[in-house]
């Protein structure tokens, strides 16, 4: 069975003849860890001989305080991708179905397949979730629906009114997972904070991560906020000690330094708009984005653009035949990408 599941390929750095190496392929924060986070990591290293606190007591308490929710509604995982796997382990099995938009985060079909459930991909409408079609795709066999908001890789986001109407149509036996990995980059006030907006729904789980805005991708910490019975079920499917104590300490320190981290997010959002405006001015067509990346639908020119960018030392994420996702980096990194885009002989409009 494993042979039929496409491997998950993380982004990598491009090496160019010029020696330039700019990695804009994995939607990471371009900024290194804050001194306070390094200090917390160093301190926690003194206990490397001990197993971590598997209940992650301090981090769970800090998250409950930060988001104004009870601790029994929180579950942790080794990244939000770890939580996605835990969720599917808890709710899916052979003979059931998992619904998601496509194109979206590639882990959805991969992990649905691993759980034995049938992946049900609902095409995007334009570059956005088609929530009507997704509601229509729900059957008696559906156990989970994933809504990636903002969507990876298109950057588009669905609004609160649309999501509310969708949630009203989905039966309670179906768990709706709102994957908000990029929530901190959202600026459209009509795009909901799922934790605040849907807290009273019995079948909604919201996923967040420390990998993007909080800059801890290497440490693998994600969290879920959901009704207590769902959080309990998902906690049970975690590999014991999956979130180690170095990661827990770094996450706690990051929450304590949130103001500073959100300033970095604001800088990334500013750069996102600069990059988008520059691309539009250069004749490209691209959707507006609420995440830390932009999406260029390039069709047949996708692979050649990625190769050209790589030759100039800029790694972007190519979805061959479809388009390119370019993460927002530092101003210098973004300029390197814009220069590569300017030199590309084709445009997509």
Which positions lie near ligand PMP, rule CB under 6 A? Answer: 27, 79-81, 105, 148, 152, 179, 181, 209, 211, 217, 222
Task: Give whichever of 166 and 214 is closer to ligand PMP, judged by the CB atom.
Answer: 214
Task: Give whichever of 180 and 301 is closer to ligand PMP, judged by the CB atom.
Answer: 180
Smallest distance, Å, CB 317 to ligand PMP?
Answer: 10
Smallest distance, Å, CB 283 to ligand PMP?
Answer: 28
Beta-strand runs (E) in the chain: 22-24, 74-77, 97-102, 118-123, 142-148, 175-179, 204-209, 222-225, 293-297, 314-319, 323-327
The count of other CB atoms within 10 Å of the CB of residue 87 is 29
Smallest distance, Å, CB 146 to ligand PMP?
Answer: 9
Which residues neighbour 257 within 8 Å (Cβ) at sequence distance 6 or greater? 34, 36, 37
What is each CA distance from 156 to 47, 80, 191, 223, in whole angstroms?
Answer: 42, 20, 10, 22
Task: Give whichever of 62 and 157 is closer to ligand PMP, judged by the CB atom.
Answer: 157
**Distance in angstroms (rounded) separating the CA atoms of residues 79 and 189:** 27
Task: Give whichever of 90 and 301 is closer to ligand PMP, judged by the CB atom.
Answer: 90
Which residues neighbour 217 within 8 Å (Cβ) at sequence distance 6 or greater? 26, 28, 29, 211
Task: Give whichever of 44 and 80 is closer to ligand PMP, judged by the CB atom.
Answer: 80
Smallest distance, Å, CB 49 to ligand PMP?
Answer: 27
Helix axes 228-236, 79-91, angle to 10 degrees: 100
- Which single residue brings its beta carbon nearest to ligand PMP? 79
Q: What is the DSSP string of 112-127?
A: HHHHTPEEEEEE-BTT
Smallest distance, Å, CB 344 to ligand PMP?
Answer: 25
Smallest distance, Å, CB 337 to ligand PMP?
Answer: 19
Task: Give whichever of 8 and 139 is closer to ligand PMP, judged by the CB atom.
Answer: 8
């Amino acid at each position: 069975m494993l042979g039929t599941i496409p491997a998950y390929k993380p982004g990598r750095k491009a090496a160019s003849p010029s020696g330039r190496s700019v990695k804009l392929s994995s939607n990471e924060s371009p900024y290194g860890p804050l001194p306070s986070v390094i200090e917390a990591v160093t301190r926690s290293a003194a206990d490397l001989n001990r197993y971590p606190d598997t209940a992650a007591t301090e981090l769970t308490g800090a998250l409950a305080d930060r988001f104004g929710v009870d601790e029994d509604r929180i579950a942790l995982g080794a990244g939000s991708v770890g939580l996605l796997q835990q969720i599917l382990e808890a709710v899916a099995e052979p003979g059931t179905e998992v619904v998601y938009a496509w194109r979206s985060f590639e882990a959805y079909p991969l992990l649905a397949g691993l759980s034995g459930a049938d992946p049900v991909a609902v095409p995007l409408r334009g570059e956005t979730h088609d929530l009507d079609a997704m509601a229509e795709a729900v059957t008696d066999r559906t156990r989970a629906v994933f809504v990636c908001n903002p969507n990876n890789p298109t950057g588009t986001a669905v609004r609160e009114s649309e999501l509310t109407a969708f949630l009203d149509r989905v039966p309670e036996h179906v768990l709706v997972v709102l994957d908000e990995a990029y929530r901190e980059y959202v600026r459209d006030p009509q795009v909901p904070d799922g934790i605040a907006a849907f807290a009273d729904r019995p079948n909604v789980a919201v996923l967040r991560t420390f990998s993007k805005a909080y800059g801890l991708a290497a440490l693998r910490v994600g969290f879920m906020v959901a009704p207590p019975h769902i959080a309990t079920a998902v906690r049970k499917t975690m590999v014991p000690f999956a979130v180690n104590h170095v990661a827990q300490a770094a996450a706690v320190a990051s929450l304590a330094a949130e103001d500073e981290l959100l300033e970095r997010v604001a800088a990334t959002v500013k750069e996102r708009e600069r990059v988008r405006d520059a691309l539009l001015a250069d004749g490209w067509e691209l959707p507006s984005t609420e995440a830390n990346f932009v999406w260029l639908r390039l069709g047949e020119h996708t692979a050649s653009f990625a190769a050209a960018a790589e030759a100039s030392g800029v790694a972007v994420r190519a979805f061959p035949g479809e388009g390119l996702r370019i993460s927002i980096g530092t101003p210098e990194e973004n300029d390197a990408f814009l220069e590569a885009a300017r030199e590309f002989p084709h445009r997509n409009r």
